[in-house]
Structure 1
């Protein structure tokens, strides 16, 4: 069965955005961006909260964003080729192709989606990932740790959730980033 993967950028102090809601500190250089392309290429479905979807939709709605650099052009194609599910109570209709809107996160529906999938799925948005982690749905946590301390903001991982992890992979990048890939142990 395909895995549900929580893949996110995170500051060294554990935040996906700072106290002002900014995440400009997580902009990848070309080497790190290519690594993200390689990580996301096998993904069949992205599960997003509304805010992350709004941030990511530009890969399809703003052709100038990806134009001119092979790495960003490749990422735009990888993103457009995957299915997207957006969890939102306010989004009327998706702005991108291969996208559907769900009004509420339903763990049983995600289990069914995962069971029917032929490729891995990712989940993004800290709040949505927290719900999936709490429900025992996440199989892997993949973090790209950026060499910055932002001093507060939105945490990458929820309080009050215990999960035992096994390190599967790690990689260091010249600019100081570290990729960590963990399997999440699921109780028998």
Structure 2
């Protein structure tokens, strides 16, 4: 059975989006980009909720046409080629080597195929944590206070975690890697 890893960028005050859904504050320096590339390389599938999927699928297929940022140039071909899944009740197809799943049961089956990386998607992450499916939490804390927005992990109850790693990337972003206590 593979692991489900929740990878999320968060502000110091615990938000994944600022007011109005703004996500223009996460800085991808070279060390953080290298870590992301290593992480993408060791998982079998990238997982998204529908809202994050819409953002990702509108940008990454053509990222090289609109950006010259080294991270974007490196990540775009990886994103296009990697198997992906999106959890949605409204989508029937998704394109770009992506399958549509029906919820926690579909994610449980996906984990049987290997490690899965859930990128962002606080609502989906909360539902999957509540279902006991998230094995590891990679929280990238950025040096910004947003003052409101969407919380990092909306869950219905307590989730016990054990700190496995803490490190700093590019002198700015702190990784807190937790495993779920069973």
**TM-score when normalising by structure 2:** 0.89
Alignment CA distance shift 1:83-1:174 (3 Å): closer
Give 1:176 deviation, angstroms.
Answer: 1.8
Tell whether the 8 Å contact from 1:51 to 1:125 is kept in structure 2 after alignment: yes
Q: Distance in 2 between matches of 1:65 and 1:161?
A: 42
Q: Distance in 2 between matches of 1:25 and 1:6?
A: 19
- Look up the match of 1:155: 151
- Look up the match of 1:164: 160
- Look up the match of 1:84: 84
3-state SS of the aligned residue for 1:161?
Answer: coil
3-state SS of the aligned residue for 2:53?
Answer: helix
Structure 1, gaps ≥5 residues long: none
Q: Distance in 2 between matches of 1:179 and 1:78?
A: 22
- Look up the match of 1:133: 129
Structure 2, gaps ≥5 residues long: none
Give 1:48 deviation, angstroms.
Answer: 0.8
The C-alpha deviation readout for 1:138-180, integer Å capped at 9, x for no partner, is 0000010000110111001114321111111111124421011
Tell whether the 8 Å contact from 2:5 to 2:135 is kept in structure 1 after alignment: yes
1:108 aligns with 2:109: no
Give 1:16 deviation, angstroms.
Answer: 0.3
3-state SS of the aligned residue for 2:21?
Answer: coil
Q: Distance in 2 between matches of 1:65 and 1:27?
A: 17
Give 1:27 deviation, angstroms.
Answer: 3.4
Tell whether the 8 Å contact from 1:43 to 1:82 is kept in structure 2 after alignment: no
Give 1:93 deviation, angstroms.
Answer: 3.0
Alignment CA distance shift 1:65-1:180 (3 Å): farther
Give 1:34 deviation, angstroms.
Answer: 2.3
> How many correspondences in the alignment?
180
3-state SS of the aligned residue for 2:52?
Answer: helix
Q: Distance in 2 between matches of 1:87 and 1:2?
A: 18
Alignment CA distance shift 1:51-1:109 (3 Å): closer
The two structures, once aligned, show a CA RMSD in angstroms of 1.9
Stretch of structure 1 that moved more, 176-185 or 52-61: 52-61
